[in-house]
Amino acid sequence: MCGIAGWIDWEKDLSEQHAVLRKMTASITHRGPDSEGFWLSRHAALGHRRLIVIAPEAGEQPMVYEHGNDKIVLTYNGELYNYRELRKELQEKGHVFQSLSDTEVVLHAYLEWQEDCVTHFNGIFAFGIWDEKVQRLMLGRDHLGVKPLFYTQVGHSVIFGSEIKVLLSHSAVHAEVDREGLAEIFGMGPIRTPGQAVFKGIKEVRAGHYALFTSSKKVTHPYWQLKSQPHTDDVDTTVSKIRTLLEDTVRHQLIADKPLVSMLSGGLDSSGLTAIAGQEYKEKGKRLHTYSIDFVNYEADFKEDFLRRDRDEPWVRKVSEYVGTEHHSIVIGADKLAENLLIPMRARDLPGIGELETSLYLLFKEMKKQATVALSGESADEVFSGYPWFHQPEFLDAETFPWLVNIDFIADVLTDEWKERLQLKAYQKQRYQEALAEVPLLENEDDRHRKQRQMSYMFITRFLTFMLDRKDRASMMTGFEVRVPFCDYRLVEYLWNIPHELKSIDDIEKGILRRALKPYLPDEVRNRRKSGYPSTNDQTYLKAIGQMMVTVLEDPQSPLRRFVKIDRLMQIAQGEDQEITDEQARHVLDYLLQVNAWLKEYEITINL
């Protein structure tokens, strides 16, 4: 895993712009702490930060291919899980390799297939390729959007990078936000519109897309999309195909030249991956290490709610003992959560979900001490339609994104003036209608199945990208790579057309996955009902962020003050507001503390 940066200008000579390029790459040193590299020519400057995972002695970047008049330069973040198969295929076509790295495979795949190279990849990736002969830039991103990629066009320039901060490190790019950006911040929350980066003029390469830039035009193209068709496999065949795909995916994603571990929550998803990986390790005479997160006093503080049925730790111990892993439980206190609240915002360059992101960052920070790579069960709920919303009419019939139903407590604290200016409900509706228009519907599908398909699309293309962003920024902030086997595009393609009643066979969410994992897990673990990512219930944390908000509101220079009803937010911060629950108050305070710090630290200019 790595960080990439680039600056292309068809009019300006960039060959001496080392200082600018170094500043851009320095902003993402955390993504690649092991080494750095630069390549400059008259109209292109490419930079790279490397985190070594595969082929430590090779894969230095930017990587250059030169033959006759051809000169192709690659800066690449990610991993191809099928790089060995692709390498063999390319060798059979006459390509000669100098290393065993997947980076060189990406480069030669472009030489062979040009922009169609992405259709041959199975992995997680974001890259920039500069073709010196034809003066063309290609930006490509993986199928599900596991790895991030942003760009902006300024005059005759294209500036791109793994994170927004790369672009903002360039003097031509300004931290400016317009009405649409504010509507994203206050109306969409952390689950934002794909392709939009909130900052004015900055775009995100969408998952499953590539973009081509020349001096005269830009072309973006979706190389991978979900396609709807009838599911014709019977139950046993469906179970068998899912199991086979998962086994193949995990086997490929265990490839690493650095220590690899697995995240383990005791839930179905992470337990299943851990069991498959654990068996692979046993066959090689090795023992898999696993990690979970817990909170100080969580056993006493735990409260069952809509998303969390029970504590993870008892289940974690059961799975670890059953699979035979060496387990590590990372226990985090409320003080650490409060102290580190703003770090994920700085990693993401945008406000996030607060404590749920902070705890993940702290977990990865501890895991990094022993390993470089981890497997995660992230995304199984999105691709297997595992959330309760998929069968509840209140959400299926809602004319908005399901996660926005009855969630108005952020907008409620805005001033009437800003509510009127931003028209958040209208903005949400516009974005929802745009998403609906993208859904590949199946002919003659009944109303209920159509709505479930639409909801599935929302989760895969919107909610999942948010979850993957959270995972990527929180992990890469510590120079740590997290792999997500449930995001293998082959599995996602297959699951897309499985009807919801088959996905939830045996009258339980993800029932089809439970059947697929029968050879790997004991029944009590397979039948554990979904319980969401843990969240602290320690009142100490709520009091700490409440005091932080009081300090913000009492400071006349705080940029948040212009947007909010100060008296109302002060009541929430002091625990005196009776209209919202403690959990809602925590979300409000977490998020708006980040908004304030974001506006201040990034020196945001508001341009309506």
pLDDT tens for each residue of 431-455 = 999 999 999 999 999 999 999 999 9
CATH number of 235-395+466-526: 3.40.50.620
Mean pLDDT across the stretch 165-177? 98
Given this model, what pLDDT does residue 44 score?
98
User: Is 278 flagged in the annotation as binding?
Assistant: no
User: 3-class SS at 134?
Assistant: coil
User: Is 28 flagged in the annotation as binding?
Assistant: no
Instruction: Quote the radius of gyration of the chain (alpha carbons, Å).
Output: 24
Reply yes or no on whether the pLDDT at 283 is more than 70: yes
Given this model, what pLDDT does residue 313 score?
93
Mean pLDDT across the stretch 153-175? 98
Given this model, what pLDDT does residue 301 score?
78
Given this model, what pLDDT does residue 1 score?
64
Percent of the chain surpassing pLDDT 70: 99
Question: Is 2 among the catalytic positions?
Answer: yes
Given this model, what pLDDT does residue 92 score?
98
* Architecture of the domain made up of 2-222: 4-Layer Sandwich (3.60)
Mean pLDDT across the stretch 350-370? 96
Mean pLDDT across the stretch 297-313? 80
Task: Look at 304 and 229; give whichever has higher pLDDT.
Answer: 229
Reply yes or no on whether the pLDDT at 531 is more than 90: no
Closest to 38 (Cα-Cα) out of 53, 49, 54, 52: 49
Reply yes or no on whether the pLDDT at 257 is more than 80: yes
Round to whole Å and give the CA distance between 249 and 237: 18
pLDDT tens for each residue of 3-45 = 999 999 999 999 999 999 999 999 999 999 888 999 999 999 9
Mean pLDDT across the stretch 597-607? 97
The predicted model scores a pTM of 0.96
pLDDT tens for each residue of 189-230 = 999 999 999 999 999 999 999 999 999 999 999 999 999 999
3-state SS string over 363-410? HHHHHCCCCCEEECCCCHHHHCCCCHHHHCHHHHCCCCCHHHCCCCCC
User: Is 285 flagged in the annotation as binding?
Assistant: no
Candidate from 395-399, 430-434, 466-470, 595-599 with smallest mean pLDDT: 395-399
Whole-Å CA distances, 73 to 14, 48, 83, 334, 411: 15, 12, 19, 47, 46
Determine the distance from the C-alpha atom of residue 395 to the mean position of all C-alpha atoms in its chain, rounded to a whole number. Answer: 24
Given this model, what pLDDT does residue 67 score?
86
User: Is 376 flagged in the annotation as binding?
Assistant: yes
Q: Are strands 373-375 and 260-263 parallel, antiparallel or unpaired?
A: parallel
**What's the chain's average pLDDT?**
95
Mean pLDDT across the stretch 546-563? 98
Which residue in this structure is represented by tokens 């909801």? 455
Confidence of residue 361 (pLDDT cuts 50, 70, 90): very high
User: Where do the domains of the chain lie?
Assistant: 2-222, 235-395+466-526, 539-603
First to last CA, the chain: 38
Confidence of residue 306 (pLDDT cuts 50, 70, 90): low
Round to whole Å and give the CA distance between 522 and 244: 19
pLDDT tens for each residue of 501-526 = 999 999 999 999 999 999 999 999 99
* Cβ proximity of 290 and 261 under 8 Å: yes
Given this model, what pLDDT does residue 495 score?
98
Percent of the chain surpassing pLDDT 90: 88
Sign of CA dihedral 567, 573, 574, 577: positive
Given this model, what pLDDT does residue 368 score?
96
Residue of 2, 175, 177, 254 marked catalytic: 2
Check if 2-222 and 235-395+466-526 are the same fold: no
Round to whole Å and give the CA distance between 460 and 495: 11
